[in-house]
Amino acid sequence: MRWFWQTSITLVLAFFVLVNLLAAAQSGKGTGTGRRSVTLNAIVHAPDNKPVSKDDFELYDASVLQEVESFYRVDAGSRIVLMIDDSSNMRIEPEVLQKVVAAIINELYEDDQMMIVGYNESADILEDMTPEMAKLQTCTTKLTRKGFPNLYDALVAVADALVKQAKTGVEKRAIILISDGYDSESKTKFDDTLKTLQDENILLYVMKAPDRTRGAMLRDKPKPPMALEKLTKGTGGTIFPFDKYAEAAKIIADDLRKNWYRLTYSPVGVNTLNDRRLLIVPDNKNIEIHIKGSHPGKYK
């Protein structure tokens, strides 16, 4: 009988130890090996003579202050997808579109690579990933201008292509989208589209075309301008007005080449099962840092 009670007590104690270990791992507090390192991309705008370090800002994950383990600038080339709304009622003249595409391509650096995708009901590769500018410059002749745009489906397809193109999983990856934000009949929901981009650490820039819906309400999805705002802020990117395309192309090129940083930290005091908002607060008003707006729940 004594053996029976000793065995029972031992099993009960083991059960409570296991429960506590699981709770600690889910909260992010960890048990030494239970903490998972997280990598974030950051776009940093600062005065030219001001080097930026991890001491110049605070990082919050789910409102909990985190310790940044490393923070450094990434000087390697980028893998970029230029996405063009190729639907029939897009409010951009073909001649203007050619100028916009040329301005973006002309700002590429030698070690950058770009893929060009046109999308309407489906997404079609007009030029596969290449560093050759001459090939990229002819892509607009392949546009067809037909049908309606399934933007969200196209973004997820492009994100998947970018991930498959990656050699190490840590390359700088960005999408430059020429669109008014209108989605017609995508099977992918808006929230799932944003989470896909965030989960793969893909930065989204937008050349915002005139809104074809003229502010009309859309069923079960955000209005086009709001969709673009949420997608860019959610990934750490920026929206540019279409008529400022030349200036925008230079800013994007500088961001990808000169202003792209990477930081790592191991989340403490958060539950990784949940979606968590991210916030980065610079200590200096002359420093501006963009990161993605939230972490999708990784283990749902």
Start-to-end CA span in the chain (Å)? 44
Q: What is the pLDDT at residue 298?
A: 63
Q: What is the pLDDT at residue 168?
A: 60
Q: What is the pLDDT at residue 167?
A: 64
In whole angstroms, what is the distance from residue 190 CA to residue 234 CA? 12
Residue segments in the chain with a per-residue pLDDT below the cut of 50: 1-33, 300
Q: What is the pLDDT at residue 15?
A: 42
Is 58 exposed, middle or buried, given 0-12, 13-18 or 19+ CB atoms closer than 10 A? middle
Angle made by CA atoms 265, 61, 276, in degrees to the nearest 5: 120
Q: Give pTM, 2 decimals.
A: 0.86
Q: What is the pLDDT at residue 36?
A: 81
Contact 31, 21 (CB under 8 A): yes
pLDDT digits (tens, 9 = 90+) for 41-83: 999 999 987 889 999 999 999 999 999 999 999 988 999 999 9
In whole angstroms, what is the distance from residue 23 CA to residue 208 CA? 45
Partners of 299 in the β-ladder:
none
Q: Distances in Å between the alpha carbon of 41 and those of 72, 168, 172?
A: 10, 15, 8
Q: What is the pLDDT at residue 105?
A: 96
Q: Which residues of 196-233 are buried (b: 16+ CB within 10 A; e: fewer)?
A: bbbebbbbbbbbbbebbeeeeeeeebbbbbebbbbbbb
Q: Tally the C-alpha atoms within 13 A of residue 138's C-alpha that lie toward its C-beta.
A: 6
* Strand runs labelled E in 168-287: 172-179, 203-208, 239-241, 260-265, 276-282
Backbone angles phi, psi at 114, to 5 degrees: -135, 145
Q: What is the pLDDT at residue 61?
A: 97
Tokens of 94: 């073909």
